Structure 1
């Protein structure tokens, strides 16, 4: 069963909002676009593994997706953790394209794409370190850890995987996500003896889920040009900013498209970039609405969480607001 479901990362939502409203003539926008691309690719790779895992019988296992666990003064992250009576299995997902050359002697991965060679940290070593950190976490919570295995799933079906030294550890630990239904039985063969009861499995799961702290980037450290970010409601058709609000509809002055809820994405962007509170005045500045009464009516209709009265009232997003 799935003990913790992977959610769309808040970090990606924030990066999407930043890229959407970052000044087009600012050279730093390209850096945020590259970071967003990498994060989206990583998330896509994780979801690819989720899909292939969903095709197998996991009635005798607990699957925890996307864990970020504190340890000492930092965190360790587990893309996918499988808890079975015999072992714990950490699977780290990679969605690299191109030719992937594993060189474990020097703990590095060489990626060749479009005749460009790049050096990456060894994902096998990374997964091994995560497994070690997981053991340390369990011991800290007075849980005697069962065997902890670690694998690396390559989710990009177009990637060419190479193991030039024919290293047996690379052959065993690296696999394509689509092969997971056949890879997990290999681990069962290695650890045939059941060690954990169902209660033990649930106990480990509870501790990890309770400790999980999702990554929420601090925008204050990003040096964003907050006073230059693009304002206005964005047209859902042509993506031009600056729609006009008239008689309950947003109208795009560029393509003529109309929308009844273009303000919702604008509000989401505001909360993601500027913080969890907005006032009537700030909403009017964001959407170019002149009427205080109109702005108040729109904000009230969204069932936002509010505090204060009159001019001092602030609005914040309710739970699941970003899921709409």
Structure 2
């Protein structure tokens, strides 16, 4: 069963809002675009692994996706954790393109793409560290885990994987995501003793899900040009900003597209960039809505919580506002 689903990361939502609203003539925009590209690629790789794991028999396992667990004064992250009665399995997804050359002797991964050579940290060592941290965490909370295995899944189907030193650890730990159904039986053959009951598995899963602390970056720490971020409602058709609201419809001045709910994405952007509270005046300023009664009607029509009296009322996202 899936004990924790993989949700669209709040970090990506924040970066998307920043890129949408970043001043076009600011050279720093490219930096955020590159970061967003990497984060989206990583998430795409994780979802590719999820797809192939869906085709595996779940009757004896619990799958936890996207864990971020506190340990001492820091956190460790796990893309995918499979809990079985016989072993725990950590899978780290990599969606790198190009030629991937594993050099475990130096704990390096070399990526060659478009004749450019880059060095990445050894993902095998990364997952090995995650296994150590997970074991430490469980023991600290009075849980004795079974053997903890770890794998690196290469999700990009166009990637060329090379193991020039024929290292056994690389051959054993690195695989393509599409091969996960054939990789799992190797661990069942290796670990034949059932060490966890169904209640033990539920206890471990429940404890990890409860300890999970999602990464939510603070835009205030990103040195953003807040006073220059683009205001206005963005057209969902042509992506131009500055839609006008009249008689219950938003109309794009650029392409003429009409819609009734374009303000929702604008408000999401505001919350993601400027913080989780807004009042009527700020909403009108950000969306260019002239009428205070119209602003109130739009705000109260959305999944928002509100605080305070009518005059000093502020609004914040409801439980499902970002769904």
For the superposition of Structure 1 and Structure 2, which TM-score range results when normalised by the shorter chain? Answer: over 0.9
1:127-276 equivalent positions in 2, closer than 5 A: 127-276=127-276
* Alignment RMSD (CA, Å): 0.6
Aligned to 1:305: 305
Moved more, 268-277 or 309-318: 309-318
Distance 1:104 1:81 in 2: 23
Aligned to 1:66: 66
2:66 partner SS = strand
The CA deviation at 1:303 is: 3.9
1:6-155 equivalent positions in 2, closer than 5 A: 6-155=6-155
Change (3 A) 1:131 1:233: same
Q: Which runs of 5+ in 2 are unaligned?
A: none
8 Å contact kept, 2:303–2:321: no
Aligned length: 323
The CA deviation at 1:311 is: 2.8
CA deviations 1:160-203 (Å, max 9, x no partner) are 00000000000000000000000000111111111111111111
Distance 1:12 1:311 in 2: 34
CA deviations 1:191-225 (Å, max 9, x no partner) are 11111111111111011001000000011110111
8 Å contact kept, 1:280–1:311: no
CA deviations 1:255-300 (Å, max 9, x no partner) are 1111100100000000000011110000000111111111111111
Aligned to 2:284: 284
The CA deviation at 1:309 is: 1.2
8 Å contact kept, 1:66–1:79: yes
The CA deviation at 1:157 is: 0.4
For normalisation by structure 2, the TM-score amounts to: 0.99
For normalisation by structure 1, the TM-score amounts to: 0.99
1:312 partner SS = coil
8 Å contact kept, 1:5–1:64: yes
The CA deviation at 1:45 is: 0.3
1:110 partner SS = strand
CA deviations 1:81-122 (Å, max 9, x no partner) are 000000000000000000000000000000000000000000
The CA deviation at 1:21 is: 0.3
The CA deviation at 1:301 is: 1.2
Distance 1:296 1:4 in 2: 37
Q: Which runs of 5+ in 1 are unaligned?
A: none
8 Å contact kept, 1:81–1:88: yes
